[in-house]
Amino acid sequence: MTSEQTPPAFALPAALLSQGFVLRPETDADVDFLMRVYASTREEELAPVPWSAEAKRTFLASQFQAQRHHYRTYFADTAFDVLEERGEPAGRLYLQARRTQLYIVDITLLPPWRGRGIGTAILQALQAAGRASGKMICHRICSSDAPSILAASDSSRGIPRKNWRKRKMKNALPKKQGTMSGRKVLVQCSFENMMNKGTMVT
């Protein structure tokens, strides 16, 4: 992935810009950082797994590459952006502008940036962009990713949690390890210009 990609699908709110936050397209030079971002979403899930540190790193690296390939195969026209605070990478926002939706493919902050209202500000800005354009705001996250998006959004002040629907993704961890047979996927969409009426799974 080079810097020649889909431009940002929306602008950060003024409150974050004034604090030195910017969105920029990710590049190949960001891969190590993006791997750390991904790994941070799986720490709690993998903590009780009786693997060596090296085995966990190998597993996370393979899962990260699989996710990266999936995103670029099925969401090729997405804006893959890195969130920075005064030049320091803090997280990622992958946003796809569809005909009737602003679809959040991924939003994740590293732990030091969680719980500070940053994710809430981004989600609220996306909701405002949805209202302005008449588009739904949709997102899809795995349960193991939930700590990042929930901490980023300061609990439920972002997109309402009560409208999430659950599905299963099988084989998130090898069954032979006896640790997990599947991961819940939470999917939520809302018509922001219709006061959050309606929920769909995409």
Q: What is the pTM of this model?
A: 0.73
Residue range 51-71, pLDDT digits in tens: 999 999 999 999 999 999 999
From 143, 131, 130, 66, select the one nearest 104 (Cα to Cα): 130
The residue type at 24 = R
Residue with tokens 């803090």: 90
Residue range 158-170, pLDDT digits in tens: 444 434 444 433 3
The residue type at 116 = R
Angle at 129 between CA 125 and CA 133, to 5 degrees: 170
Domains along the sequence of the chain with CATH: 14-194 (3.40.630.30)
Q: What is the largest CA-CA distance in the chain?
A: 50
How many Cα atoms within 13 Å fall on the side-chain side of residue 128?
Answer: 11
| Token code pair at residue 79 | 């804006």
